[in-house]
Structure 1
Amino acid sequence: MRAPDRPSGFTNDSARDRFHAVYDRMLGELWPVPVDAFDVETRAGKVRIHRAGPAEGDPVVLVAGAGGNALAWYRYIEPLARTRPVFTVDPLGEPGRSVQTRPLTNGAEVGGWLTDVLAARDVERAHVAGFSYGGWTAVEQQLSEGGRVAALTLVDPGGFAPLPKRFVRWALAGALASLLPRPLRHRMAGVVNNGVLREDGLVRLTRAGWSFRRRLPVPPAYTDERIRQVPVPVQMLLGARSTLLDPRAVAARLAGIAPSWRVEIVPGTGHSLSVEAPDLVIERILTFPRQKAGHGHAPTGGS
């Protein structure tokens, strides 16, 4: 697939302004704690960051997936910010308040803007949690330049298998279902295996972002050698019904090539694990890497 040759962006100024109006309204409605919002200049554009929590300590940095932004983590902010500084970012190349100014053509360039964000905030030991494309971004940051990160939590991440056709069908079904009236949309969430459809505010934001043209590289599947090169402790949380990955195949592979990684298959969840089981993901972030590494399944839930 050809590398992107233009930055991502809205189709026009009016579309951008309409999206920002919805974004600001959803931030006011969904964000549970006071937030300090600021922008950081990176090599590929301006990145919007929302900060919460205590002034001191090693931060948790939350990176959303494709089509997402900082608001996707709104359920995470208050519980994490009780004890840790929390930075949520609007990723470059996704609809939000960040502004991409240069094309991002490969994983090293995608990971590079995250390195710039950490450096701008003088972060040396972040716990980076990334969902889907955000998980791939976090891994690429470590594989390209590295440093400034103490641990990774990867939530149904990209890059660990070729992109399957069933994922494309799943994304299309979710987009179509998002147009339905609220009661029917909520019922369809279970049918199409997408818990985001029950998140009314996030659905409104997603629909407002349809005027955004996303131009980012598709993650290739990692080789065994590249996975072994990740230098920090990693835990991976996989949806048992994920359409992006075969969770059992990924867990079995990692058990052989990266046995120190903690891999957990979460019953009753799909690719939208980060919104379907936020309490579990929060607990795993707060307790890793103190808990013993290993491979296993979540103790609760049903498949």
Structure 2
Amino acid sequence: MRISRFRNDRARDRFLAAYDRTLDQLWPGPRTALDVPTPYGTTRVLRTGPEHGTPIVLLPGSGGNALMWHRYVAELAQHHPVLAVDTVGEPGASVQTAPIVDGRDGAAWLEELLTALDVPAAHLVGCSYGGWLALCHRLHHPGRAASLTLLDPAGLAEIGARFYLWLIAGGLASAAPRVLRPRLARLVGNSTILESELMGLMRASMGFRRALPVPAVLTDEELRRLDGVPALFLLGERSALHRSPEVAERLRTLLPAARVELVPDAGHALPTDRPELVADRILRTAGR
């Protein structure tokens, strides 16, 4: 069975020590850490904000975890409960125990998680891979999402070589001396490398073996089935993941009720390229 896991106990312990240290450094205000059992493994959820109301559920991108949302939670938690998730199968505090082989499995994991958390309705916010999971959940479990905010989500076009070159360039730039990183971030179009603490956590995850599926491209028929809830597709105009103008045109044709916004001067690292805009759009979609 293909299951994401750390190479050995030493690699896991080193990462978890870095995770806890980074959490204490970055997370604003109080939070409750929940370890929620699901058929796919135990899922870590960081909960903050008010006790009542429809929660905002934050799903990170590939290789990330709940800590990527640290700069958002304080503002979002003024209006909604916030549940920031370490996706099972990604490097974080969750522990995968069963394989996730496709989008249906990913959707089933998220549905089991929300059921266990007693969340009858949620404002789903997904970045990149997390956006694909949110879309798959809406397709296979259509009754639970109160809204969708998708930040340059995967699954809308084939992933080409340009994206993998972008990842490699970002990884190399993140290892450069700190004084050079702002210039390199502009050069490669990846502002994430300026998040020094998160980059340190990423380096601590090198002993993690990820075994999650490549996002399948949603068909036209599947995209039409997403209709029925407020949805915002926020696309970085210079995204390396896909050709955003073409994706935007496809979405506007197939989902005329959805909001589709191309963000100028932003790429696939949309949450760090334009954090104020992203926070505003999340709250516009979920309701303040």
TM-score (norm 1): 0.92
Residue 243 (structure 2) pairs with residue 243 (structure 1): no
Q: For the residues of structure 2 that align with 1:14 and 1:185, how far apart are their CA atoms?
A: 30
Residue 43 (structure 2) pairs with residue 47 (structure 1): yes
Counterpart of 2:215? 219
Counterpart of 2:142? 146
Counterpart of 1:107? 103
Equivalent residues in 2 for 1:30-41, closer than 5 Å: 30-41=26-37
Aligned counterpart for 1:276 among listed residues 257, 273, 277: 273
> Would the aligned equivalents of 2:123 and 2:286 in 1 still touch at CA under 8 Å?
no
Deviation per residue, 1:142-161 (Å, 9 max, x gap) = 11223221011000000000
Counterpart of 1:81? 77
Deviating more after overlay: 216-225 vs 128-137: 216-225
The secondary structure found in structure 1 opposite 2:71 is helix
**1:274 aligned partner, one-letter code:** P
Change (3 A) 1:16 1:290: closer
Give the share of equivalent positions with the same residue, in percent: 49
Deviation per residue, 1:39-69 (Å, 9 max, x gap) = 1111100000000000000000000000000
Residue 252 (structure 2) pairs with residue 255 (structure 1): yes
Deviation per residue, 1:114-173 (Å, 9 max, x gap) = 111111111122101000000001111111223221011000000000011100100011
Q: For the residues of structure 1 that align with 2:64 and 2:12, how far apart are their CA atoms?
A: 15
Q: For the residues of structure 2 that align with 1:104 and 1:190, how far apart are their CA atoms?
A: 35
The CA RMSD measured in Å over matched residues stands at 1.2
Structure 1, unmatched stretches of 5+, are 292-303
> Would the aligned equivalents of 1:33 and 1:77 in 2 still touch at CA under 8 Å?
no
Deviation at 1:245, TM superposition (A): 1.4
**1:276 aligned partner, one-letter code:** D
The secondary structure found in structure 1 opposite 2:46 is strand
Q: For the residues of structure 2 that align with 1:145 and 1:227, how far apart are their CA atoms?
A: 14
**2:241 aligned partner, one-letter code:** L
Deviation at 1:191, TM superposition (A): 0.7
Deviation at 1:186, TM superposition (A): 2.7
Deviation at 1:222, TM superposition (A): 1.2
Q: For the residues of structure 1 that align with 2:145 and 2:255, how far apart are their CA atoms?
A: 18
Q: For the residues of structure 2 that align with 1:152 and 1:222, how far apart are their CA atoms?
A: 16
The secondary structure found in structure 2 opposite 1:88 is strand
Counterpart of 1:233? 230
Deviation per residue, 1:190-213 (Å, 9 max, x gap) = 111000011111110111111111
> Would the aligned equivalents of 2:56 and 2:286 in 1 still touch at CA under 8 Å?
no
> Would the aligned equivalents of 2:3 and 2:211 in 1 still touch at CA under 8 Å?
yes
The secondary structure found in structure 2 opposite 1:32 is coil
Equivalent residues in 2 for 1:158-177, closer than 5 Å: 158-177=154-173
> Would the aligned equivalents of 1:43 and 1:112 in 2 still touch at CA under 8 Å?
no
Q: For the residues of structure 1 that align with 2:13 and 2:276, how far apart are their CA atoms?
A: 33
Counterpart of 1:297? none
Q: For the residues of structure 2 that align with 1:191 and 1:224, how far apart are their CA atoms?
A: 35
TM-score (norm 2): 0.97
Runs of 4+ in 1 over 6 A off after TM superposition: none
**2:218 aligned partner, one-letter code:** Y
Q: For the residues of structure 2 that align with 1:62 and 1:289, how far apart are their CA atoms?
A: 12
